[in-house]
Amino acid sequence: MAETIVIVDDEKEIADLLEVYLKNEGYTVLKFYSGSDVINCIENTVVDLAILDVMLPDINGFQICQKIREKLYFPVIMLTAKVEDGDKIMGLTIGADDYITKPFNPLEVVARVKTQLRRYIRYNNSNLHEEHNEYDIRGLLINKENHKCFLFGKELSLTPTEFSILWYLCERQGTVVSSEELFEAVWGEKFFNSNNTVMAHIGRLREKMNEPAKNPKFIKTVWGVGYTIEK
């Protein structure tokens, strides 16, 4: 069954172009030109991934992403003409999984869609059986089979990307993982020194875990090196 992708962009030419490319890859595409219409769709339709333009005439993409993350955890890719790091970090902090700046090559968008869907499907597939499917670290319980994570018995609502980051760190408990290694393992793309994506997602994870940034119990920063979950 083809995955369903929602596109919302008030620039009709961009939305139409992405629709053509994604349909050519076999995806089912639901296309909208305003934020209010897409929210109604998401609340009443099974969606596998959303591509959200940040600047919309009514509800902006950040607000739509926040609405999605209240209950749903499928991948979200943000589109924007802005290039400021602050906007990118904001999008990732509120729960977006990826961020693409306009103008873009539509083939790049298709490639990123495939990457996000692979990760989402992989971590939500209950038929996966590997040597280590669960870690229990001082009250942090994470299970790869059912894609669930609990902290002191309370379930954490993690996006697929957040789950991937936490799982990767748990697998390597006791070792320091660099931002470069973490980015390339989770996103499957080459890391650049100016990329703040990992930092933004770590910040969001700590927030969900009620972890103080200066003295976290679980995800610790080793300055100049990377991140670690101690044994």
User: Quick one: tokens of 30?
Assistant: 């639901």
Burial class (CB in 10 A: 0-12, 13-18, 19+), 142: buried
Task: Judge contact between 162 and 197, C-beta under 8 A.
Answer: no
Evaluated on CA atoms 222, 224, 227, 231, the torsion sign reads negative
pLDDT 10s digits, 135-188: 888 889 999 888 899 998 899 999 889 999 999 999 888 889 998 899 988 888
What pLDDT shows up at residue 129? 38
pTM of the model: 0.60
What pLDDT shows up at residue 121? 73
What pLDDT shows up at residue 112? 86
Give the span between the Cα atoms of 143 and 157, in whole angstroms: 13
Closest CA to 219 of 228, 208, 210: 228
Find the helix or strand (DSSP H, E) in which 149 lies.
Answer: strand 148-151
Give the span between the Cα atoms of 114 and 15, in whole angstroms: 18
**Crossing angle for the helix pair 179-187 and 160-171, nearest 10 degrees?**
130
* Secondary structure (3-state) at 222: strand
Q: Where are the beta strands (DSSP E) in 152-205?
A: 154-155
Low-confidence ranges of the chain (pLDDT < 50): 126-130
Q: Which conformational region is residue 103 in: left (phi greater than 0), alpha (psi within -120 to 50 degrees), or beta?
A: beta
Task: Judge contact between 97 and 161, C-beta under 8 A.
Answer: yes
